[in-house]
Amino acid sequence: MSSLTDEQIMLEVSRGDLDQLRHLFDRYHVRIYNFFQKMVRNQAVSEDLTQDVFAKVIRYRSSYKQGNFASWIFTIARNIFSTYYQKQKKERSHLINDDLVDSGEVHASDSNEEELSHLQRALLKLNPSDRELIVMHRFQEIKYEQIAEIVGSSEGAVKVKVHRALKKLKDVYFQTI
């Protein structure tokens, strides 16, 4: 694995050294996949969307301008999710409930799995922007500052939005117990 920073590696990629992309793929593909998995709860879709992110990294490599690489790649992932979600929303108005039932994620064998399943159902009931903020902050452990850069907002506004989204999640979670 390369000892270069993500930003240094991406600069090499942007200059045409596509072999260096494997280092970024190794460092980020699981995080990107997990982001999508928490958003859509569908393994095949998450794999496809993750592939799309790295295809766009290659396609738009020359647009990388030495900023924070994690923010840049998660902005790409966020845009890909937004496009996917809007397309699905047009095709089916009840996407989230259908995917939850179809995924088989509702089955739990013990109380911890049952609680996790309940949390996932509650998370899926939130609007996509609230869910996205919670996933980035709590599950992906992205700092408020980076989330602000990704969503094009201030750090203070992101903190408030995450706090409100967590309150909504808590309300939804305890409504259905």
Assigned domain for 26 exists? yes
- Asked if the structure places residue 19 within a domain, the reply is yes
Reported for 136-141, long-range contacts at CB under 8 A and 24+ positions apart, including other chains, are 136/35, 136/74, 137/162, 138/166, 139/34, 139/35, 139/38, 140/31, 140/34, 140/35, 140/74
Confidence at residue 174, expressed as pLDDT on a 0 to 100 scale: 83
Q: Per-residue pLDDT tens for 30-68?
A: 999 999 999 988 999 999 999 999 999 999 999 898 889
* Rounded Cα–Cα distance for residues 66 and 175 (Å): 45
Residue 103 lies in a domain: yes
Residue 147 CB burial class (10 angstroms; 0-12, 13-18, ≥19): buried
DSSP state of 77: H
In a domain, 1, yes or no: no
Which residues constitute the domain of residue 55?
6-175
Structural domain includes residue 87? yes
What's the pLDDT at 124?
87
**Other C-beta atoms within 10 Å of 45: how many?**
17
Total domains, the chain: 1
| pLDDT tens for each residue of 84-140 | 988 877 665 443 444 444 444 444 345 667 777 888 888 888 998 999 999 889 888
The pLDDT tens digits for 9-36 are: 999 999 999 999 999 999 999 999 999 9
Closest CA to 75 of 1, 165, 152, 161: 152
pLDDT of residue 177: 58
Average pLDDT over residues 59-86: 91
Task: Please indicate, yes or no, whether the overall pTM of this predicted structure exceeds 0.75.
Answer: no
CA 150 from centre of chain: 11
